[in-house]
Amino acid sequence: MEGKVELHCHSDGVVDPAMLRDLSRGGENFEATAKELENAYPVTSLERWSETYEGALRGFWRPTAERTKLVARAQRERWREQEVRYAELFVSRILGAVPEGEPLREWFRALAQDLSSPAGYPEVSIVLCVSRSKVTQHVQRIVDLARAGLIAGVALAGDERACLIRDLQAALERIRATGIGIEIHAGEVGGPESVRDALDYGRPDRLGHGIGAFEDRGLVERIAREQVHLEFCPTSNLRLGVIPAIQELPVKLALDAGVSFSINTDDPGVFQCSLTSELNLVREAFGLSESDMDRVLLNSFRAGFGPQRAHQGR
């Protein structure tokens, strides 16, 4: 398959010192922030992520609405440089930063325009990323954006052990009725029970990470049978201790079980990686052939929430 595909990349995790210095050429000076951010690496735990990486960028994210569009454009260019064909950007922080109604719709229209590439690629779809704990609070805004055609999907992030999908079932049914894609982060820090909760009560198209599912063979068979796509994020899982070594990423198990999966960066600015480096890491670690990689990329594209979703009649 021609071109790379990325389905799991958070807008608030793409910033790194090099991006800040590139953005400084636009008129604002982010050099001090870039120097502070350099001291945040390596990020090897959620605690260090919060204390150092997010701490260094706390001032940068104000004003949130404008800075989010700024980094989105920069990430689009990085995807273009890596010859990415299709990508999805998980956009966070916005529901609390822009007034609901027409101002929020207009912000998403402007973001879509910013993400349209003059080169024709990559094609970038917007996925609204919301914390599990805030889905019910924001469900009407999500539904409004979906009905206006301004988001391709919604991703549920946050602590999978503290907030069960079972308790969000009604809100998710309202979102599903709009026809957009649903992604749920599960099986990252939680085990099979977290994945089962997501499948039973959220009925997602995709699972973010999904590593915990591979502790239960029957659950893996169910994922394959129900055609739920998994978004693997190798370096993220390695750095945060989800897997002890790259060889423990269940790539071979997924291939053997017929599970559709993609390779993603999660937060490339946090984990100092790129989509190209992640694909190379997996290819070399597991000795994947070109046909294996083509299969992964094709399955990734088919699992996208963009125009290909409507074309496949989901």
The verdict on residue 160 lying in a domain is yes
Asked if the structure places residue 313 within a domain, the reply is: no
Is the separation of the CB atoms in 35 and 48 below 8 Å? no
CB atoms within 10 A of CB 62: 10
Over the chain (314 residues), the average pLDDT of each successive run of 10 is 91 98 91 97 96 97 96 97 97 94 97 88 96 96 98 96 95 98 97 98 98 98 98 98 97 97 98 98 97 96 87 55
Structural domain includes residue 310: no
Question: pTM (2 decimals)?
Answer: 0.96
CB 219 within 8 A of CB 196: yes
- Residue 102 known to be catalytic: no
Q: Which residue's structure tokens are 């990329």?
A: 297
Peptide bond into 204 cis (omega under 30): no
pLDDT of residue 98: 95
Which DSSP symbol is given to 282? H
290, with CB counted inside 10 A (0-12, 13-18, 19+), is exposed
Give the residue from 102, 97, 112, 99 showing the smallest Cα distance to 67. 97
Q: Is residue 232 part of a domain?
A: yes
DSSP label at residue 27: T
Res 120: pLDDT: 79
Provide the residue range defining the domain that includes 116: 4-305
Question: Has residue 56 been placed in a domain?
Answer: yes
Rounded distance between C-alpha atoms, residue 268 and residue 260, angstroms: 22
Which position among 36, 160, 188, 278 bears the catalytic label?
A: 188
Query: How many Cα atoms are found within 13 Å in the side-chain-facing hemisphere of 125?
Result: 26
Q: Which two tokens stand for residue 82?
A: 């890596």
Does 312 reside within a domain?
no
Taking the CA of residue 171 as centre, how many other CA atoms within 13 Å lie in the half-sphere pointing to its CB?
A: 20
Q: How close are the terminal C-alpha atoms of the chain, in Å?
A: 22
Split into its structural domains, the chain has a count of 1
- Strands 84-91 and 123-131, how do they pair? parallel
Q: How far apart are alpha carbons 237 and 211 in whole angstroms?
A: 9
Backbone phi, psi, residue 123, to 5°: -85, 120
- Contact of 180 with 208, CB cutoff 8 Å: no
pLDDT score at 252: 97
Q: Which residue type occupies 304?
A: G
Q: How far apart (Å, rounded) are the C-alpha atoms in residues 67 and 26?
A: 12
CA distance 311 to 309: 5
Structure-token pair, residue 176: 């599903």
Q: What is the CATH number of the domain that holds 31?
A: 3.20.20.140
Residue 283 is encoded by which pair of tokens? Answer: 């290819």
Token pair belonging to 168? 């969000």
